[in-house]
Amino acid sequence: MKIFLTLWVTINSIAFIFYGSVLLVSKEPIIIVLLFGVISVGYGVLAFIRAISILVSVNPIKPVFVNVLGLIYFGLFVFGALDGGSFSGHEILGLVIAASFLAANWFALNKLARMRMPPNKSLSADTLTRAR
């Protein structure tokens, strides 16, 4: 299960990084598109770093940074969908897809954090000193 969740977060993060990179090198230098690209790349990188830190670190990165960037990403996505004034089925489908990927990534990161092995609290430095 841990391998599947790690692969999911990795693939999802790569998708966000790729999507943001495509927006950053687009021929439309509109400020909202550039900001959306930077937020997308930042979210992908932070989600990947959080997954790696959950797997290898004793004190993983706090989820607040990833959650805030995810909310900003979705807010900009909604803003971009509403900029035309009319709301079509394609925009609703885009919002549902974006929300589902963000939610799936959030659930996967939280599940990975809960699956992490807790440190052995019964073995302390004091116990090792008394053993000598």
Output the pTM of the full model.
0.78
Instruction: Quote the mean pLDDT of the chain.
Output: 82
The DSSP code for 106 is H
Residue 42, pLDDT > 90, answer yes
Per-residue pLDDT band at 2 (split at 50, 70, 90) = confident
Taking only the tens place, the pLDDT of each residue in 67-83 is 898 899 898 888 877 77
Where are the domains positioned within the chain? 2-115
Where do runs of H (alpha helix) occur along the chain? 2-24, 31-56, 64-82, 89-115, 125-131
Per-residue pLDDT band at 113 (split at 50, 70, 90) = confident
